[in-house]
Amino acid sequence: MNSINQIAKELKVSKSTVSKIINGKAREARISEALEKRVLDYVEKVNFKPNSLARSLATGKSLTIGLIVEDIGDSFFGPMALYIEDQLKSQGYHVLYSSTLGNPIEAKVIMQSMIDKKIEGLIIAPTLDLSNQIKELQELKFPLIIFDRNIDDNQANFIGTTNYGSSKLLCEHLLKNQYKNTGFITIDSEQSQMKDRREAYVDFARENGMQENILSIPYETHKTDAIKSIEKWLLANPTVDSLYFSTNYLCISGLKVLRKNKLNIQNYGIVCFDDHESFDIIFPSITCMEQPLEAMSKEIVKYLLLQIKGKDILSDQIEIPATLIVRESSK
């Protein structure tokens, strides 16, 4: 390994001189072009790369951003992470990411560990129970973006989609298509995006004198045997004429149930919050609200950089509209 010290020794110049030249500050440090060239040539020759840990320690800049999601393998967070990374990369930043799997204890450990690593900003889809940690960071004026789901009484920058409004649009869409008794299948989560979707359903039902049929599946089981609960519930609620799934994976579970029980999918109106790769290849194709992934990721990066550059913490709460994609399942 070669260090700036060795180079200095080899060339019989001072390490500060080498440092300045490497960082393109030769002119302002009034270093002769001859020496500059000599150093740069040598650096090139031995393929010297400065140790970025040392550099970060000295400058206080790590050029690293933390990204904490629920599950990087998920069809929402995975693509979001890709977009975010792509944009941050073009600004010279690296991404240190981690998945919480919804566990607040794990989330706290991850946050602390990232901060210990001197990340310059944090983008987080918070688990429940993270308010204190987030507020601490915010008081320290630490660049911070909350996304996807909000926390109570949030003073930090938030970026997400219009969960309440879009959820109502989905309900409305079903009613317009003559579905008058919608079942709402969701997970039992107090996360804001889930609460908003549910509230909109409830409000809509009340406003229109409709029956409220809600299946709330415990959060922990949602990806394993949610199927069983849905099955039981569907059989117990034969009068329901349409189904609104609050997430795409619940919808997929629901579709499996319908297939398995040889229930005719076409007898139901089906809508879902969030799109999925499979929704337009199956029959009937599934009507859904498509979240604005790219637009959200752009705002996230934009606001984070504003905070980092401006050293001013922002508290804008931004909701980008989702798009209703009408397909066969709701006709």
Partner DNA sequence: AAAATTTAGAAAACCGGTTTAGCAAACTGC
Partner DNA sequence: GCAGTTTGCTAAACCGGTTTTCTAAATTTT
Among positions 57, 101, 140, 235, the unique one binding DNA when judged by CB under 7 A: 57
Closest by alpha carbon to 123, among 56, 189, 62, 64?
64
4 binds DNA (CB under 7 A): yes
17 binds DNA (CB under 7 A): yes
Kindly report the backbone phi and psi dihedral angles of residue 72, in degrees, each rounded to the nearest multiple of 5, phi listed first.
Answer: -65, -15
Closest by alpha carbon to 31, among 44, 46, 13?
13
Kindly report the backbone phi and psi dihedral angles of residue 235, in degrees, each rounded to the nearest multiple of 5, phi listed first.
Answer: -65, -30
112 binds DNA (CB under 7 A): no
Among positions 42, 50, 129, 298, the unique one binding DNA when judged by CB under 7 A: 50
Q: Which is nearer to DNA, 43 or 270 (CB)?
A: 43
Contact 216, 190 (CB under 8 A): no
Closest by alpha carbon to 303, among 63, 295, 100?
295
Kindly indicate which of the ranges 22-30, 49-57, 158-166, 234-242 contains the residues binding a second copy, using the contact rule CB under 8 A.
49-57
279 vs 273: CA distance, rounded Å = 12
Q: Which is nearer to DNA, 13 or 306 (CB)?
A: 13
Residue 232, contacted partner among a second copy, DNA, none, CB below 5-8 A by kind: none
Element counts in the chain: helices (H) and strands (E): 12, 12
Q: Which is nearer to a second copy, 29 or 46 (CB)?
A: 46
331 vs 328: CA distance, rounded Å = 6
Kindly indicate which of the ranges 27-35, 286-294, 295-303, 317-325 contains the residues binding DNA, using the contact rule CB under 7 A.
27-35
The one-letter amino acid at 305: L
Among positions 10, 23, 101, 312, the unique one binding DNA when judged by CB under 7 A: 23
Kindly indicate which of the ranges 56-64, 188-196, 303-311, 316-324 contains the residues binding a second copy, using the contact rule CB under 8 A.
56-64
259 vs 199: CA distance, rounded Å = 29
Among positions 9, 27, 29, 86, the unique one binding a second copy when judged by CB under 8 A: 86
Kindly report the backbone phi and psi dihedral angles of residue 59, in degrees, each rounded to the nearest multiple of 5, phi listed first.
Answer: -90, -20
95 binds a second copy (CB under 8 A): yes
255 binds a second copy (CB under 8 A): yes
108 binds a second copy (CB under 8 A): no
Our CA dihedral for 42, 46, 49, 51, rounded to 10 degrees, sits at -100
Angle at 188 between CA 183 and CA 192, to 5 degrees: 100
5 binds DNA (CB under 7 A): yes
320 vs 298: CA distance, rounded Å = 11
The residues of the shown chain that bind a second copy, judged by CB under 8 A, are 49-54, 56-57, 62, 64, 71-75, 78-83, 85-86, 89, 94-99, 112-113, 115-118, 249, 252, 255-256, 259, 276-278, 280-283
The residues of the shown chain that bind DNA, judged by CB under 7 A, are 1, 3-5, 12-17, 19-20, 22-23, 29-32, 34-35, 48, 50-51, 54-55, 57-59
